[in-house]
Amino acid sequence: MLEGAKSIGAGAATIALAGAAIGIGNVFSSLIHSVARNPSLAKQLFGYAILGFALTEAIALFARLSDFIHIPKKKVSVQVPLVYRIWPKKSSSLPS
Protein backbone atom coordinates (compact mmCIF):
# COMPACT_ATOMS: atom_id res chain seq x y z
CA MET A 1 0.00 0.00 0.00
CA LEU A 2 2.83 2.37 0.86
CA GLU A 3 4.57 1.65 -2.45
CA GLY A 4 1.39 2.56 -4.32
CA ALA A 5 1.11 5.86 -2.46
CA LYS A 6 4.72 6.65 -3.31
CA SER A 7 4.02 5.99 -6.99
CA ILE A 8 1.01 8.30 -6.91
CA GLY A 9 3.13 11.01 -5.27
CA ALA A 10 5.83 10.60 -7.92
CA GLY A 11 3.22 10.92 -10.67
CA ALA A 12 1.77 14.07 -9.10
CA ALA A 13 5.24 15.59 -8.93
CA THR A 14 5.76 14.77 -12.60
CA ILE A 15 2.54 16.60 -13.52
CA ALA A 16 4.08 19.73 -11.97
CA LEU A 17 6.67 19.69 -14.77
CA ALA A 18 3.90 20.30 -17.31
CA GLY A 19 2.80 23.31 -15.28
CA ALA A 20 6.35 24.64 -15.26
CA ALA A 21 6.55 24.27 -19.04
CA ILE A 22 3.33 26.24 -19.42
CA GLY A 23 4.71 28.90 -17.05
CA ILE A 24 7.90 29.26 -19.08
CA GLY A 25 5.81 29.61 -22.23
CA ASN A 26 3.78 32.36 -20.57
CA VAL A 27 6.92 34.22 -19.50
CA PHE A 28 8.34 34.39 -23.02
CA SER A 29 4.94 35.02 -24.57
CA SER A 30 4.56 38.05 -22.31
CA LEU A 31 8.07 39.15 -23.26
CA ILE A 32 7.21 39.08 -26.96
CA HIS A 33 3.98 41.02 -26.40
CA SER A 34 5.72 43.59 -24.20
CA VAL A 35 8.56 44.18 -26.65
CA ALA A 36 6.04 44.55 -29.46
CA ARG A 37 4.24 47.26 -27.49
CA ASN A 38 7.36 49.13 -26.34
CA PRO A 39 10.59 48.18 -28.18
CA SER A 40 12.68 50.72 -26.25
CA LEU A 41 12.35 48.64 -23.06
CA ALA A 42 13.51 45.41 -24.70
CA LYS A 43 16.71 45.03 -22.63
CA GLN A 44 15.00 45.68 -19.31
CA LEU A 45 12.10 43.37 -20.18
CA PHE A 46 14.51 40.64 -21.26
CA GLY A 47 16.16 40.77 -17.84
CA TYR A 48 12.78 40.37 -16.17
CA ALA A 49 11.93 37.50 -18.51
CA ILE A 50 15.16 35.66 -17.66
CA LEU A 51 14.39 36.14 -13.94
CA GLY A 52 10.89 34.74 -14.46
CA PHE A 53 12.31 31.85 -16.46
CA ALA A 54 14.84 31.04 -13.73
CA LEU A 55 12.22 31.07 -10.98
CA THR A 56 9.82 28.92 -13.00
CA GLU A 57 12.58 26.47 -13.86
CA ALA A 58 13.60 26.29 -10.19
CA ILE A 59 10.07 25.21 -9.32
CA ALA A 60 10.33 22.52 -12.00
CA LEU A 61 13.63 21.30 -10.57
CA PHE A 62 12.15 21.13 -7.07
CA ALA A 63 9.23 19.11 -8.45
CA ARG A 64 11.66 16.74 -10.17
CA LEU A 65 13.69 16.38 -6.99
CA SER A 66 10.51 15.56 -5.10
CA ASP A 67 9.72 13.01 -7.80
CA PHE A 68 13.07 11.28 -7.32
CA ILE A 69 12.62 11.21 -3.56
CA HIS A 70 9.22 9.51 -3.86
CA ILE A 71 10.21 6.87 -6.41
CA PRO A 72 9.94 3.49 -4.74
CA LYS A 73 13.27 1.79 -4.40
CA LYS A 74 13.43 -1.87 -5.29
CA LYS A 75 15.06 -4.09 -2.74
CA VAL A 76 17.83 -6.07 -4.35
CA SER A 77 19.15 -9.19 -2.72
CA VAL A 78 22.67 -10.09 -3.69
CA GLN A 79 24.23 -13.37 -2.72
CA VAL A 80 27.87 -12.85 -1.90
CA PRO A 81 30.06 -15.86 -2.63
CA LEU A 82 32.07 -17.35 0.17
CA VAL A 83 35.34 -15.63 0.73
CA TYR A 84 38.27 -17.97 1.21
CA ARG A 85 40.93 -17.08 3.72
CA ILE A 86 44.23 -16.03 2.25
CA TRP A 87 46.19 -16.77 5.40
CA PRO A 88 46.05 -20.26 6.84
CA LYS A 89 44.61 -20.68 10.28
CA LYS A 90 47.08 -20.88 13.12
CA SER A 91 47.25 -24.37 14.40
CA SER A 92 48.85 -25.63 17.55
CA SER A 93 51.22 -27.86 15.60
CA LEU A 94 52.98 -24.97 13.86
CA PRO A 95 55.73 -23.19 15.75
CA SER A 96 55.08 -19.56 16.41
Domain ranges of the chain: 2-70
Q: How far apart are CA 27 and CA 68, in angstroms?
A: 27
Q: Looking at the predicted structure, is the pLDDT value of residue 10 above 70?
A: yes
Q: What is the DSSP letter of 49?
A: H
Considering Cα of 22, then 24, then 27, then 30, what sign does the dihedral take?
negative
Q: What predicted TM-score, i.e. pTM, was given to this entire model? A: 0.61
User: What's the confidence (pLDDT) of residue 87?
Assistant: 57
70 and 6 in contact (C-beta within 8 Å)? yes
Q: How far apart are CA 57 and CA 51, in angstroms?
A: 10
Taking only the tens place, the pLDDT of each residue in 32-86 is 999 999 999 999 999 999 999 999 999 888 888 877 776 666 666 666 555 555 5
Q: How far apart are CA 9 and CA 66, in angstroms?
A: 9
The superfamily in CATH containing domain 2-70 is F1F0 ATP synthase subunit C (1.20.20.10)
User: What's the confidence (pLDDT) of residue 89?
Assistant: 60
